[in-house]
Amino acid sequence: MTNLITIEQKILKKNSDLAEENRREIERRGLLAIGLLSAPGSGKTSLLERTLRALTGVLRAVVIEGDVQTDRDAQRIASLDVPVVQIVTNGTCHLEARMVQEALVQLPAQDLDLLFIENVGNLVCPSSYELGEHLRVVVLSVTEGEDKPLKYPALFRKADVLVINKIDLLPHLEYDLVQTRGFALQVNPKLTMFEVSCATGAGLGAWTRYLEDRVAAHRVPRLAAT
Amino acid sequence: MTNLITIEQKILKKNSDLAEENRREIERRGLLAIGLLSAPGSGKTSLLERTLRALTGVLRAVVIEGDVQTDRDAQRIASLDVPVVQIVTNGTCHLEARMVQEALVQLPAQDLDLLFIENVGNLVCPSSYELGEHLRVVVLSVTEGEDKPLKYPALFRKADVLVINKIDLLPHLEYDLVQTRGFALQVNPKLTMFEVSCATGAGLGAWTRYLEDRVAAHRVPRLAAT
């Protein structure tokens, strides 16, 4: 068992080192990188579609898609004329920095503002693997129940933002949004929270304004340095 | 990398051996064991609550609950006066046979018919770890989209039953149930499928009759042997 833990620690250390390399490459290209995480079917790709449409003409975005199998999500993004690289993990339950490193070299060379990295749908395993992202955004759907931040705390603890999705379904559910917010803040008091519906578009204005502000803030030190 | 694969194979082999021991112990006790698997928030525990209520006075059931953190699910089951053992994996993304082995010795000694083992909410990692169950039941919620069987094929391939949950929400979703069924059968043509709502109770009669039939069929060789 000790051997196994040592091997896991080595893997995570190597992953962190590669994530640091990724971050330097991402910053060299002037990008703000956002990791998107959630359970399967919480709406990461739908949020991405809505966000990319809203940001057209405002910010230039690019996407790295992570899936266990299929390039279905990459096809959805490509249909919006947004550059996208699909990573198929072939059974692996999370993205790793080395996969993102390989995807980064396939991104177009043009000037870009935002990189979204959509992880495999999984509330457990991705939490240990840094990818080089600047912000971690967890998407939680109201159909999943209130208690997920308590039951899967590691991912919520390492997140910067919580997007609560599918609020259009609230009238049809017994669901306590206040309790969810409370559970999330209990695990991570620093979370920035948004409530949205990717079906109706409700709440997405605040979320995209937040992204615009973060890109602007990310640019300041770069401009100051030149 | 080769070393790592060898270690993983050894772990899985050891797990399979323990699962075989579990299965013998489960059969010695005359139980039919059912593994419940799904993404977080698809409704495994709600299905269990509905099922246990419906089977009261018909079959004697017992539950092993697996969660990364908290004993919230075990509390829900215990409130139904059903014996339950909670496994908290403390970060591990799936149940393993050794955890179930430890839980089995804590089950009450009385005569029982059915053992439910609810895994951690995860559509990837639990697929490789046999626990000693006789049947694997995957729960999929209609709010998760149609394509999950294609995107997470390993778990669906190893399942015996697919329970499609939350059908009460269909009028409020753009969701194609026929497409989901098609995708599931494409990955695993042998799947038995049920469509239910744990909110309204719709479709649960067919599911509980199926369980009663399976328990009866499981008993036949035992009776024949005595």
| Residue stretches of chain A with pLDDT short of 70 | 1-5, 221-226
- Name which of A11, A93, A145 is nearest B41 (Cβ-Cβ): A145
Task: Please give the structure tokens belonging to residue B211.
Answer: 């369980």
* Residue B219 banded pLDDT, cuts 50, 70, 90: confident
Q: Can you give the pLDDT at residue A109?
A: 84
* β partners of residue A208: none
How far apart CA B60 and CA B31 sit, in angstroms, is 10
Considering the entire predicted model, what is its pTM?
0.94
A168/B166 touch (CB, cutoff 8 Å), yes or no: no
Nearest residue, CB atoms, A150 vs list B70, B93, B147: B70
- A15-33 residue pLDDT tens: 999 999 999 999 999 999 9
- Please tell me which of the candidates A39, A69, A152 has its beta carbon nearest to residue B153: A69
- pLDDT (mean) for B92-118: 96
Q: CB distance from A125 to chain B under 8 Å? A: yes
pLDDT higher than threshold 90 for residue B137: yes
Q: What average pLDDT does range B3-27 have in this prediction?
A: 91
Chain B, 153 to 212: residues with Cβ < 8 Å from chain A are 153-154, 166, 168-169, 172-174, 199
| Residue in chain A nearest B187 by alpha carbon | A69
For residue B22, what pLDDT is reported? 98
Could you report the per-residue pLDDT of A197-218, keeping only the tens digit for each? 999 999 999 999 999 999 999 9
Provide the pLDDT confidence category of residue B7 given band limits of 50, 70 and 90. confident
Find the closest chain A residue to B45 by CA distance: A145
Residue B3 pLDDT: 64
pLDDT digits (tens, 9 = 90+) for A98-121: 999 999 999 998 889 999 999 999
In chain B, % of residues over pLDDT 90 = 91
Residues in A closer than 8 angstroms to B14, CB to CB, are none
* pLDDT at position A1: 47
Q: Give the pLDDT band (50/70/90) at residue B4.
A: low
The alpha-carbon gap from B209 to the nearest alpha carbon of chain A, in Å, equals 27
Edge-to-edge order in the sheet of strand A32-38? A84-88, A61-67, A114-118, A32-38, A135-141, A161-165, A192-195
pLDDT tens digits for range B54-65: 999 999 999 999
Residues B147, A70: C-beta atoms closer than 8 Å: yes
Nearest to A143 among B67, B153, B166 (CB): B166
The shortest CB-CB distance from A148 to any of B41, B143, B151 is to: B41
pLDDT per position as a tens digit, B149-182: 999 999 999 999 999 999 999 999 999 999 999 9
Considering only residues B218 and A2, tell me which one the structure prediction assigns the higher pLDDT.
B218
All residues of chain B having their beta carbon less than 8 Å from the beta carbon of residue A186 are none
How far off is chain B from A21, nearest CA to CA, in Å? 21
Residue B1 has pLDDT above 60, yes or no: no
**ipTM greater than cut 0.85:** yes
3-state secondary structure chain B: CHHHHHHHHHHHHHHHHHHHHHHHHHHHCCCEEEEEEECCCCCHHHHHHHHHHHHCCCCCEEEEEEECCCCHHHHHHHCCCCCEEEEECCCCCCCCHHHHHHHHCCCCCCCCCEEEEECCCCCCHHHHCCCCCCEEEEEEEHHHCCCHHHHCHHHHHCCCEEEEECHHHHHHCCCCHHHHHHHHHHHCCCCEEEECCCCCCCCHHHHHHHHHHHHHHHHHHHHHHC
